A and B are shown apart, each in its own frame.
Chain A
Amino acid sequence: MNYVLFLLLGAGVAAAATPPPEAAACQACHGAHGEGMVGGDKPRLAGQSAHYLDKQLQDFASGARDNAIMSAIARSLNNQTRSKLAAYYAALPVPAALAVPTSLEHTTATAAQAGRGHQLAIEGAEGKRVQACNNCHGPEGSGVALSAPALAGQLAAYLAAQLKSFQQGSRKNDAGSLMRSVASQLDEADITAVASYYASIPSSH
């Protein structure tokens, strides 16, 4: 069933948009349909906001966001191509079938972790002075186009890695240091919990 759905949606993608030739560089890690590297930490791009993706490419190119592979790729692209790629991936539907493996990751989280992740997402933690993730990232982490990326259906390993980068200060392209502030208050268990929680939510795109 999932396989059939995947095929149908795959066909839909092909009909909706032909990948720009530069997308070949993306597909190796982020998948043929921008689904991300399931089981790894290369994020899903499909359905993410164009503004966010464009800004990340600019930040990789300028060095504001640090990643050796991405910086090299982003630097090889001009502004126009970055925007074109961002728009392409933003317009891609998230293949519903791919929500299954990500939600499987959730099963590795304990019930307590799932509860903690849900709590951090919708309510925050007063003891740690951490506000709800959804305040900025929207209901169920669906994203707010010009200000905060979608988290729903993102790969848990990627989310956890980013929270750790913000925590360690190696990622610092967040407006007003907001993510660095939040991540600095979280511990390892919180990060696992909240990353698993968002990975388990099917993207609403």
Chain B
Amino acid sequence: MVQQLKEVDVVVIGVGMVGSILAKELAAAGYKVVGLERGNTRFTVPEFQSPGIHDELRFDVRKALMQDNTREPVTFRNTSSQTGLPIRRWESFLPGTGLGGSMVHWNGQTYRFQANDFELATRTRERYGQGFLDPDITIQDWGVTYDELEPHYDRFEYLLGTSGKAGNLKGQIQPGGDPHESPRSREYPTPPQKEHYSGALFRKAANSLGYHPFPQPSSNLSQPYTNPEGLKMNTCVFCGFCERYACEHYAKSTPQTFILPVLLANPNFELRTGCQVQRINLDSTKQRATDVTYIDNAGREFEQPASLVITCLFAINNIRMLLLSGIGKPYDPATGKGVVGRNYAYQTMSTVASFFDEDVIVNPFMASGASGTLINDFAGDNFDHSGLGFIGGAFIGAVNTNGRPIQYHPTPPGTPAWGKGWKNAVVKHYNHTIMFSLHGSSVSQRQNYADLDPTYKDAWSQPLLRITFDFPKNDLKMAEYVTARGVEIGKAMGAKQVAGTPRKAPYTTQQYQTTHNTGGTVMGNDPSTSVVNRYLQSWDVPNVFVIGASAYPQNASWNPTGTLGALTYWVADALKNEYLKNPGRLVSP
């Protein structure tokens, strides 16, 4: 029997980064908010404490913090002509679950996108002409500009206490920062983390080549910080267990450290965990959401009515929630019509490994998730693409995030894959190798999309999401180009051997790349090519907002979290100042 619950003002689906920030804003503004989280409640103490949290087998190999793909996997195929199969073991990307969401296991790399990224289609046409792009590419403008988001980026960084060095303060280039960044209104809240030795060598080499190295913006804090919510965070100790783990020190910015204690203390907010939302229900006009159906851990089914429904799930789960709810027209790659699932994109990751003699001692285990040194000289549109045959780029950096024993053992090409030769090579190179991350952009194209799988279902008998994706030619060319630049830097560092590995097709789900899945519920100004308007409000069902990296029309050269934080505050303002005072469409279609 379905239990009907009492109506509330707002239901937030997913209590991760976006959900906890929005819920806090709306609860503080006096609205009754219910947060539905499918996973468990968890806090720094006791759940994230040592030594249990440093269990590499449990967290790194077996992915203990991730979405349970025995109950709720995703199916995948490279092309529409193939049959999608469920991903039964997460590797390529790692969607989290539980209170605090995927941010609990993030690395803390906290970038802004550049002004150019938000108007990518327009600016690419302007700079390189009409016929520059492959006709399959479906990049588009975001419908929001950098200048509009700047105050929200700022607010988000001050919430997190991000450690970094400004490169452009109100148009004035700052020594030591990234000169390519778009103007920021003030300095980072805390100074950069200490530079790793690998970063120092990278900095020297990059300078010698005329590039502009800068410290990676990190939300693993360089010093104690009290954020505007009154919550105090600690200094990161470089323990080397960031990505895939939770932080035991209150030093990595996650909802647990920067907002949840304030949210949970507000009587206007109610957290319900163990709630698997099945769908958002619509009235007979299909233009208004009435309630949300969820099943709790005891198998009981509930309907929670609300005036406003905000879906704040991990990108791919936002897409699925809309498809399961019949909100927005599903995308059809054959016709190019429809919007939900369209413009699914990712991140094009390449690597360069520089192998040194034994007198260069790197100590890779001593790391935070974001204490690298990098350049943006080959990111985005920071270099001339004329004649190159691609758009986009990558940041290139010595981003040493860990040296954990089970998973980190760099060896040069030609090393045996197992046995004594491999073991000897691991011993020889472990402490004398510098790895670069080449963090590349990802264009959207018409063949890449997400829809509901026709065959496979989850533990609640709901169709799984199916991803159809392969790397666009544009991005493979970009990967070749930036990897060659990375190899040059490795050589300039004086490495004995430098191995560049540009990303190649086909895309595989069996190798870790990044958890930067984007698109599928894209934002924009044209309802025929976007799911939500510039305030992330559904064009079709205006009392539904969809917030996540699923809103990105394509992915830029940087980690997506900073931009998602900015969008979250952008939407919070639109909700508080406009929508909730006068519910309705914030933009006319």
Contacts and interface: CB of A to CB of B under 8 A. Distances in A.
A181 B232 contact: yes
B249 interface: yes
Interface centre among B222, B248, B249 (most CB of A within 10 A): B249
B232 A123 contact: no
Contacts of A125: 45
A34 interface: no
Contacts of B45: 123-126, 130-132
A176 B248 contact: no
Contacts of B235: 175-178, 181
Nearest to A123: B46
A136 interface: yes
Contacts of B248: 131-132, 135
A39 interface: no
B330 to A, nearest CB: 43
B44 A124 contact: yes
B49 A132 contact: yes
7 closest A-B pairs by beta carbon, nearest first, are A176-B235, A126-B45, A124-B45, A135-B50, A132-B49, A123-B46, A181-B234
Contacts, number: 62
B265 to A, nearest CB: 11
A12 interface: no
Given A176-B235, A177-B235, A123 B43 contact: no
Nearest to B257: A129
Given A129-B232, A131-B249, A176-B223, A124 B49 contact: yes
B51 interface: yes
B250 A131 contact: yes
Nearest to A125: B45
Interface of A: 122-126, 129-132, 134-136, 139, 147, 175-178, 180-182, 185
A78 B236 CA distance: 33
Contacts of B44: 124, 126, 129, 131
Contacts of A136: 237
Interface string B195-234: 0000000000000000000000000001110000001101
A98 to B, nearest CB: 28
B46 A124 contact: yes
A164 B250 CA distance: 21
Given A124-B45, A131-B249, A135-B248, 5 more contacts: A123-B49, A126-B44, A132-B50, A134-B51, A176-B236
Nearest to A122: B49
Given A129-B44, A176-B235, A134 B50 contact: yes
A135 B231 CA distance: 21
Contacts of A134: 50-51
A139 B51 contact: yes
B371 to A, nearest CB: 13
A176 B239 CA distance: 13
Contacts of B249: 131, 135
Contacts of A181: 224, 232, 234-235
Nearest to B54: A135
Interface in B34-91: 43-46, 49-51
B366 to A, nearest CB: 10
Interface in B15-43: 43
Interface in B248-266: 248-250, 257, 261
Nearest to A139: B51
A175 B193 CA distance: 13
Contacts of A129: 44, 231-232, 250, 257, 261
